[in-house]
Chain A
Amino acid sequence: MHKLFFHGETLHLLPSGGLYWPARNTLAVSDLHLGKSERLARRGGTLLPPYETQATLEKLDRDLEATGATTVICLGDSFDDLAAADGIEEASRLWLIRLMAGRNWTWITGNHDPGPIEIGGSHRADLKLTPFTFRHIAEPQERAEISGHYHPKASLAGRSRPCFLADAQRLILPAYGTYTGGLRAHDATLTALMARDALAILTGPRVLAIPMPR
């Protein structure tokens, strides 16, 4: 776990790629891409192992148990498409409902799931929770913003891992979902977005912060 001081608040960057905000007892996760294998199978493509929803929910369950968070914000692309949200397997749907029960749960819309999902919780384009703004895709002029979308990753000691990116004004979360790839932190899209003194905080057994690779 890595402690990040961001606009006067202490944030915990978890080894799983989740973000915990103790002061508000809030857990934020991004880009779960639930139902990805189902979407590919439905579209007549390859038949990927149908276990990624289960694997992602297990991880989320563990983080919720460990933190005891009562508020959850999913920062978009929670489902691989809207039909994947509707078509979620019964066992997974019940599991998700159990996780949501008694928690204040917000689904922020992403480019993969651009509409409300029939699964409870509140659905929003973005969420203001002073001092932060939570949304899916970072906006260049925004301040104190927490977002996802880019699936950043970076390498340390020869190993590439999903990572958080943080500068004075924005924090970008890594993809939390099991079937997700990554965009290298030194990609022009990300270096243009982040300030020169940005940090990359790598997930994994040990959360490690390094200057963001450029």
Chain B
Amino acid sequence: MTPLPAALSDWFAAKGWTLHPHQQDMLARSDDPATLLIAPTGGGKTLAGFLPTLAELGESPPPGLHTLYVSPLKALTADIRRNLRTPIEGAGLQIRVEDRTGDTSYTQRRRQRADPPHILLTTPESLALLLSYEDAPRIFAGLQRVIIDEIHALAESKRGDQLTLQIARLQSLNPNLRRIGLSATVENPPALARFLSPSTTILQADPGPDPDISMLETEAPPPWSGGGGRYAIPAILNEVTRHKTTLIFHNTRAQCEIFFHDLWLQNIEDLPIGIHHGSLSREQRERVEKAMTDGALRAIVCTGSLDLGIDWGDVDLVIQVGAPKNVKRLVQRIGRANHRYNAPSKALLVPANRFEVVECQAALDAVRAHTLDGEPRGPGPKDVLCQHILATACAGPFDADQLYAEVTTAGPYALLTKQEFEACLDFVATGGYALKAYDRWQRLKQTNGKWHLRDPRAAALIRQNLGTIIDTDLLKVRLRNQGAPLGEVEEDFAASLTPGDTFLIGGQVVRYESLREMTVEVSRSPGRDPKVAVFSGTKFSTSTLLTDRILQIFQQESWPDLPAHTAWWLAKQREVSRLPDPRSLLLESFPHDGREHLCVYGFAGRNAQQTLGLLVTKQMEYQGLAPLGFVATDYATLIWGLDPVTDPAPLFDLATLRDGLETWLSGNAVMKRTFRNTAIISGLIERTHQGRRKTGRQATFSSDILYDTLRRYDPDHLLLRITREEALRGLIDFSRIEQRLARVGPNIDLIRLDRVTPLAAPLFFEPGRVPVEGAGRDRLAAAQAQALMEAAGLA
């Protein structure tokens, strides 16, 4: 271990700072090849990660890159740069710290390649780009350390898988490279340690006192359905006035917008409150971040974009609006309040509707019982590997055996077989098609045993497509006749607008005017209610831990812990029908609005409930019940069609469902969406970049066509295999259906009712309805076409 430079120790002493025990431990273990530090927010985790670097660099280090810091958020790199500069400049150390992200200027990036700083702060995407340059070996020549911040968040996504491959690359360039992972509390530290490196030391900091957490009591009960928590605004404002700084978390950007707008209308005291989420323009976000750092805001309405460790001073209350879906994320969010180590964090949960009251109660119980949820992630995805091979080829010729050996040192790819690797290489090189048609199908060629790009000019295009984040196509929103961008909306949302529609963005109501050159032009529309709901957002599945706890709560005789309105609602459901329980599968069948409905209370999480919807409607199609569509939530699937279900057992027979899975997997929308993501990540199709989008829309065609073509002519193609693997563990989540059905066995209970039940009613307001393509829709389409022609006087 190298001690801290005297100037730095003196500076710490002058400030009256002493190192926490886990910070001391990090210094003591600085020679270990890999260290995972698990510490609560506010524990000086990031500084702990940098201490060995500061010790090794000393007071005036020679030039060259020493430490690479990788974080999942651009904002975090800027924040860390500021925080690091304080001790470095304070102690007069000659250490250069710079960040490099998608927002860094071109000149700055060029300079960084020629003359890298001692400490470079970046994101996995920017690192992928750096490693794809031919001069990567020179840039990273003296690299000693890599620090991965918020590694628990990265490990949950393909960005993390990609990062482990990049670190394997860096380790090949610098065999003595040491790794540090910094993590919030997780349910399975050894798994995260393996993700970081095969030989990782785990350091656990003192977790600190239990949080002070409860459900917010409101005068008005929450509404029956919907999200957003608008009803709770008076109570929330009251809490904001009683605290210094409050973070108000929402699960989606849309809810964040609506809530902020409504909050503003009721903010009579003119409390300074800001909004922050990923769809706002950079300028807007930076303005809010600055105001927050300056202590000028009393509250920020935000999404997961503020989940991760940006240190914004005096937050003393966290409010979570909407069910948290996941206990681990909730605990991490709660940690955002009170950045003082060893002081309890204070948090309030605000259920957005009646169902969420129960879920919030279940989450409170889980937090108090210290149980965390988490599903194991499985082996590293191969589309990410394909991209990595392509990016490696951009940097220069490579030897396949060496690359394979390197890739298998990355945690998620430790069990990758040579055969699997070669299939990926073949895909990258030739497309990997069963039909070996032309010599033109060559992206990579082998010369003197080494693989390289057939056309080096292709590198530029490949670099543009690096990264594993797949955005839905976003369009910029601008005020007409003014330059300032307000933010972005999804293309599908923009397509649904007609001139005159009003919607919310950045907390203001705007009027849609026109779509010009891929920009949505709007004008201000003061004081009017938005007519159209906001763009859709990410949806998480409620964890198994939480759904199990909800089913347990349902079994209580009475519900003294729940607010009276919710207890009454559950009692009402018990009276007219039944409450779902863990040992059986409850189905309700009833007519409504001219359609037959079937409500399946599977409690398997949104993704699995969606899959169940797809599988069951397929069976219904076979039985001639003409299903038309369904909608899934974390708790239930509501199916509607032309004819009622009377014999449910065959629909839910596990063996039949499993058999049907194969054929069914082929044509459904979820698979096609998964395929599209996989095709983009693996480099088969390009991302649509704003500004360079092809003008004639007929020039591009849907990735669905490629999917259908491959299914028909090359069913064993690598990308179809990847799509299937991905879908089964991600969006399809079939294992959760299997677990649930195995647990209920033959206890599938159908209750026929003459009307909608209390528990089913909220499902009618759920967005994200999935149409079923089949006989029912054909019947309907024919009837609709007939009606249109008749209306036009043509039939």
Contact = CB atoms under 8 A, between A and B. Distances in A.
Interface in B416-473: 430-431, 433, 435, 437-438, 440-443, 454-455, 457-458, 461
Contacts of A47: 430-431, 433, 441, 443, 684
Contacts of A46: 683-686
B778 interface: yes
Contacts of B455: 44
Interface stretch (A123-131, A135-143, A174-182): A174-182
Given A41-B441, A44-B458, A187 B697 contact: yes
A44 B454 contact: yes
Contacts of A209: 785, 789
Given A157-B780, A179-B705, A206-B782, A184 B697 contact: yes
Contacts of B794: 199, 211
B431 A49 contact: yes
Contacts of B430: 47
Contacts of B773: 159
Interface centre among A48, A182, A183 (most CB of B within 10 A): A48
Contacts of B714: 49, 51
Contact of A54 (B699, B713, B789): B713
A8 interface: no
Interface string A49-63: 111101100000000
A183 B438 CA distance: 31
A42 B442 CA distance: 9
A49 B709 contact: yes
A178 B771 contact: no
Given A157-B781, A206-B778, A51 B697 contact: no
Contact of A49 (B433, B686, B778, B780): B433
B119 to A, nearest CB: 37
Nearest to A177: B701
A89 B705 contact: no
Given A44-B455, A179-B705, A210-B789, A89 B438 contact: yes
Interface in A144-176: 150-151, 156-159, 175
Contacts of A210: 785, 788-789
Contacts of B792: 211
Contacts of B454: 44
B782 A183 contact: no
B788 A55 contact: no
Contact of B781 (A54, A150, A175, A206): A206
A54 B782 CA distance: 32
Interface residues of B, number: 47
Interface string A170-207: 00000100111111100100000000000100000110
A206 B702 CA distance: 21
A45 interface: yes
Contacts of B785: 156, 208-210
Contacts of B784: 156-157
A81 interface: no
B570 to A, nearest CB: 35
A91 B431 CA distance: 20
A38 to B, nearest CB: 6
A164 B461 CA distance: 36
Interface centre among A38, A87, A158 (most CB of B within 10 A): A158
A127 B431 CA distance: 40
A111 B701 CA distance: 18
Contacts of B443: 44, 47
Interface in B681-738: 683-686, 696-702, 705-706, 709-710, 712-714, 717
Contacts of B698: 150-151, 175, 180-183
Given A41-B438, A50-B433, A181 B781 contact: no
Contacts of B440: 38, 41-42, 87
B113 interface: no
Nearest to A211: B792
B777 interface: yes
A178 B709 contact: yes
B86 to A, nearest CB: 47
Contacts of A205: 778
A51 B707 CA distance: 12
Contacts of B778: 205-206
Contacts of B433: 47, 49-51
Contacts of B685: 46
Contacts of A54: 713
Given A41-B438, A209-B785, A55 B713 contact: yes
A54 B710 CA distance: 12
A182 B435 contact: no
A49 B427 CA distance: 11
Nearest to B771: A158
Given A156-B781, A181-B697, A210-B788, A51 B684 contact: no
Contact of B441 (A50, A158, A182, A206): A50
B451 to A, nearest CB: 15
A55 B709 contact: yes
B659 to A, nearest CB: 25
A52 B709 contact: yes
Contacts of A187: 697
B462 to A, nearest CB: 10
B376 to A, nearest CB: 33
A42 to B, nearest CB: 5
A208 B438 contact: no
Contacts of A175: 698
B89 to A, nearest CB: 48
A204 to B, nearest CB: 9
B781 to A, nearest CB: 4
Contacts of B706: 48-49, 179
A206 B435 CA distance: 33
Contacts of B789: 209-211
A52 B710 CA distance: 10
Contacts of A181: 697-702
Contacts of A48: 431, 684, 706
A176 B701 CA distance: 13
Contacts of B442: 41
B441 A51 contact: no
Interface centre among A44, A49, A156 (most CB of B within 10 A): A49
A50 B431 contact: yes
A208 B781 contact: yes
Contacts of A184: 697
A206 B461 CA distance: 41
A208 B780 CA distance: 12
Contacts of B441: 41, 47, 50
Interface in A72-93: 87, 89
A158 B254 CA distance: 23
B696 A157 contact: no
Contacts of A206: 778, 781-782
Closest 5 CB pairs of A and B: A47-B431, A181-B701, A151-B698, A51-B713, A44-B455
12 contacts: A41-B442, A44-B457, A46-B683, A47-B433, A49-B431, A50-B431, A51-B433, A157-B784, A178-B705, A183-B698, A206-B781, A206-B782
Interface of A: 38, 41-42, 44-52, 54-55, 87, 89, 150-151, 156-159, 175, 178-184, 187, 199, 205-206, 208-211
Interface of B: 430-431, 433, 435, 437-438, 440-443, 454-455, 457-458, 461, 683-686, 696-702, 705-706, 709-710, 712-714, 717, 771, 773, 777-778, 780-782, 784-785, 788-789, 792, 794
Given A49-B717, A182-B697, 5 more contacts: A38-B440, A46-B686, A182-B701, A184-B697, A209-B789
